[in-house]
């Protein structure tokens, strides 16, 4: 089956030219009907034409319909498809990157990616699979030291997996933190924390 493309083809050229001629003819007939007096049409025996009132009514009706669609219907459809303001999907979705919040005794963060962070509503899993166990609806922490902080998609090209001793040199150089979305609670605490309480 041939691939559908918007490229010009002979068939499209013929149909396009025929439609162009049709609409030019219809527009010419519309202008003649709108501006030629009705008496001249009666002399030719054309007594079944609609009233001249429709020459103005139909274009005005079309403009009102387009205006209502552009300023009322189209924005309403967009608002109807949006999630509610209080839903978490307005600020995060399944593509959000959430990092494990577990802290080791020496103060370092885990930085492993939480694979399935979203739960129902605003509940978010805060720890990666190595640092959390699910017992019913309660998430408990496990103190497991993660030896590798890498999220590389290609294991063969990952420097940390080739040379695990490279990690302490990264810590001494104060590396750039891993990419993650900001936690809303952390942002709120930072912005709205009042000192002196």
Question: Do 97 and 66 belong together in one domain?
Answer: no
Range of the domain at 96: 86-139
Q: Which residue has the higher pLDDT, 71 or 140?
A: 71
How far is 192 from 194, CA to CA, in rounded Å? Answer: 6
Q: Greatest CA separation found in the chain?
A: 102
Which residues are CB-neighbours of 132 under 8 A, at least 6 positions away?
A: 102, 125, 126, 139, 140, 141, 142
Whether the per-residue pLDDT at 32 is higher than 70: the answer is yes
Tens digit of each residue's pLDDT (9 = 90 or more) over 41-59:
999 998 888 999 999 999 9
How far is 133 from 139, CA to CA, in rounded Å? Answer: 6
Question: Do 29 and 75 belong together in one domain?
Answer: yes
Segment among 7-21, 25-39, 86-100 with least mean pLDDT: 86-100
Task: Place 97 in a pLDDT band, splitting at 50, 70 and 90.
Answer: confident
Task: Place 90 in a pLDDT band, splitting at 50, 70 and 90.
Answer: confident
Tokens 């605003």 sit on residue: 122
Question: Helical H runs in the chain?
Answer: 10-35, 38-43, 53-68, 74-81, 159-162, 166-172, 184-192
Question: Do 109 and 57 belong together in one domain?
Answer: no
| Helix (H/G/I), strand (E/B), else coil: 191 | helix
Which residues are CB-neighbours of 14 under 8 A, at least 6 positions away?
A: none
Whether the per-residue pLDDT at 139 is higher than 70: the answer is no
**pTM score of the predicted model:** 0.42
Task: Place 29 in a pLDDT band, splitting at 50, 70 and 90.
Answer: very high
Q: What is the mean pLDDT of residues 140-152?
A: 49
The two structure tokens encoding residue 7: 């490229």
Q: Is residue 197 part of a domain?
A: no
Q: Is residue 1 part of a domain?
A: no
| Separation of first and last alpha carbons in the chain | 72
Tens digit of each residue's pLDDT (9 = 90 or more) over 74-87:
999 999 998 888 77
| Cα dist from 93 to 1, 7, 77, 118, 194, whole Å | 37, 37, 21, 8, 30
Last residue of a domain, one of 54, 81, 108: 81
How far is 178 from 175, CA to CA, in rounded Å? Answer: 9
Number of domains in the chain: 3
**What percent of the chain lies above the pLDDT cut of 70?**
66
pLDDT confidence of residue 135: 46
The DSSP result for 132-149, as a single string, is EEEETTEEEE-----S--
Q: Is residue 5 part of a domain?
A: no
Stated length of the chain? 197
Task: Place 128 in a pLDDT band, splitting at 50, 70 and 90.
Answer: confident
Last residue of a domain, one of 124, 139, 154: 139
């Amino acid at each position: 089956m041939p691939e559908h493309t918007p490229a010009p083809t002979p068939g499209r050229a013929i149909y396009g030219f025929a439609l162009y001629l049709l609409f030019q003819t219809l527009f010419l007939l519309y202008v003649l009907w709108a501006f030629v007096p009705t008496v001249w049409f009666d002399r030719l025996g054309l007594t079944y034409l609609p009233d001249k009132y429709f020459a103005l009514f139909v274009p005005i009706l079309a403009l009102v319909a387009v205006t209502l669609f552009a300023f009322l219907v189209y924005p309403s459809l967009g608002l109807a498809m949006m999630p509610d303001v209080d839903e978490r999907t307005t600020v995060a979705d399944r593509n959000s990157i959430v990092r494990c919040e577990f802290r080791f005794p020496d103060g370092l963060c885990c930085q492993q990616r939480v694979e399935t962070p979203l739960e129902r509503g605003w509940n978010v899993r805060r720890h990666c699979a190595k640092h959390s166990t699910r017992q019913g609806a309660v998430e408990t922490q496990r103190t497991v030291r993660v030896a590798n902080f890498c999220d590389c998609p290609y294991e063969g090209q990952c420097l940390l997996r080739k040379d695990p001793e490279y990690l302490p040199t990264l810590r001494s150089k104060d590396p750039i933190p891993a990419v993650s979305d900001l936690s809303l609670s952390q942002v709120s605490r930072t912005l709205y924390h009042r000192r002196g309480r």
